[in-house]
Amino acid sequence: GENVEQHPSTLSVQEGDSAVIKCTYSDSASNYFPWYKQELGKGPQLIIDIRSNVGEKKDQRIAVTLNKTAKHFSLHITETQPEDSAVYFCAASRTYALNFGKGTSLLVTP
């Protein structure tokens, strides 16, 4: 089955800096790659997703890049703010079943 590796497991940045989280996947047939943000006491919430026919997608301060040849994708958050502090999960899928990474705990310090 699909195996998704996510790094780093923890990330601390200063407010205003950029944060990058990287994921690799094993199933070359995967074609849908969502990123979820989970705040304390809440369920994961989709922040951005990308499909395999696109190499990059941007939404305000958040961007995702996909390299299908290397089977890795990354989340980029620019101009980080304290409210960006949360756990971020990547996932890869070729069906309805999402295969998640273990998560990255991001801390943005003022």
What is the residue type of 37?
Answer: K
Q: Does 98 bind other proteins (CB under 8 A)?
A: yes
Q: Is 93 in the site for other proteins (CB under 8 A)?
A: yes
86 burial (CB, 10 Å; 0-12 / 13-18 / 19+) is buried
User: In angstroms, what is the minimal distance from the CB of 35 to other proteins?
Assistant: 11
| Residue 29 near other proteins by CB under 8 A | no
Which one of 17-25, 32-40, 55-63, 64-72 is the stretch in contact with other proteins (CB under 8 A)?
32-40
Question: Does the N-terminal peptide bond of residue 110 adopt cis geometry, omega within 30 degrees of 0?
Answer: no
